[in-house]
Amino acid sequence: MVAPAVSYQPIPDKTQVRSELIGTHVGQCELLEKIGDGRRGAVYRGRHAGTGREVAVKVMQDAVAEREVRAASHVHHPGLAEVLSFGRLPDGRHYVVMELIAGESADWVLHRRGPLTVSETVQVLAAVSEALSAAHDRGLFHGALHPKSVFLLARPEGGFTVKLLDFGVTPPPGEPEPSVAADLQALGKLGYTLLTGQLEVPAAPRSPIVPVMPLSLDELIIDLVQAASKLRPQSAREVRERLGPLLPQAPAAPAVVVSAAPLPTLPPRAVPHRATLPLIAAALVAAVGGAVAYLVLRPDAAPAEPVVVAAPALRPLSVAPVAVKPETPEPAPAAAPARAKASKSPRAAPVPTEDQLDARIGRLEGKLRGRPGSHDEAQHLLNKQRMRLGGTPDVDERRDIALKLDAWEQVWLR
């Protein structure tokens, strides 16, 4: 027996529908007000009829991958927005009920205040990569990672928390199928947009992405964006590990300063007469013996093994008279021959200047363009060395750049 086909009413005017939804029930939630709007749907603040909990209800024009949404509801991670339920309206539209987040989407932050700082971008990318790693471990891919899917929640003590939304939303036409590689490339594009404020990300971003930024962050974002890069991370966990050294470090605990009483000033040391030396040695032996007896016999001391102190036998000291010889001037060293030549040390190779290194990189680029095939990775490595020249390198760094260019020439132009 063939099940009857399910028919849905045609979707009426979008503005009218969105106005009529306020005050109605979607699933077990009453929609109270609209808190977000876009071309692909709207977001409402709602209240669950059974628990009274306030929730966010997203009603979408596009299809929803129900398997991914169901899987997202079982992934619990502080960086993922909690998915409570999902379903379809009588007119065929999909809805997802999730936790209500009191924050701003990253695209709205960019619109309101412009690009994020390097430190803020690193924190967002680290949090999103952690959330993606938790989802990927469960076989769940995002597929539609954009600034509007990332929410920033201000913390009372300062800073912000990051939440990732919209798992299971079908990617728009032209977007790659959901996969680990697609999510990683979208993560790189997210970093580029956060730093520059530009939504359109080139296939091969120029280096540096912004004038002042860590070289490792610049390389990471470019490698993520370029799908053919051999240096591209293979997992979200690897991205998080590479971002670790760039995260702001927690302030160190204050040093504990122990004040000590000033040491007493000792009188000038007098040289003892030779007749008093045996008495001093005997006094030292007696002092050591008294200290040992106190440690062993004191009432609060714990039982300990006997301590034996061996003292050297005392013997009379005799001081032989020392004859003092008159000092005689030492003969002056003979003058070196006038024609003696100084020893020559091997001369090190001269270190090229910044202009010389920049000109060499230009020549290598010209040779590279004359070779057939794609050379994105080779050009990327040259860009890295040119970026180092922009930071006023010292002699040691210029020498290292020259060595790197020697190795590059051996690999790519042999």
- Which of 79-93, 98-112, 342-356 has the weakest average pLDDT? 342-356
Mean pLDDT computed over 229-242: 91
Residues 6+ apart with CB under 8 A from 404: 385
pLDDT for res 386: 82
Cα torsion 361, 366, 370, 375: sign: positive
Spell out the SS3 assignment of 232-256.
Answer: CCCCHHHHHHHHHHHCCCCCCCCCC
pLDDT for res 384: 80
- The pTM of this model reads 0.56
Mean pLDDT computed over 337-366: 72
Statement: residue 303 has pLDDT above 50: no
pLDDT for res 189: 96
For 104-246, CATH number? 1.10.510.10
Strand partners, 227: none
Closest CA to 355 of 379, 400, 386, 396: 386
Q: For residue range 275-298, list pLDDT tens digits in order.
A: 555 555 555 555 555 554 555 445
- Which of 65-79, 235-249, 353-367 has the weakest average pLDDT? 65-79
Statement: residue 260 has pLDDT above 70: no
Amino acid at the residue 267: P
Cα 267 to its chain centre, rounded Å, is 58
Mean pLDDT computed over 151-156: 89
pLDDT for res 155: 86
Q: What is the rounded distance in angstroms from the CA atom of residue 105 to the CA atom of residue 292?
A: 74
Q: So what CATH class is 14-99? A: alpha beta
DSSP H helices in 85-179: 106-113, 118-137
State how far the alpha carbon of 32 is from the alpha carbons of 17, 22, 47, 249, 398, in Å.
15, 6, 7, 42, 64
Mean pLDDT computed over 69-95: 83
Q: For residue range 313-344, list pLDDT tens digits in order.
A: 444 444 445 454 555 555 555 554 444 444 45
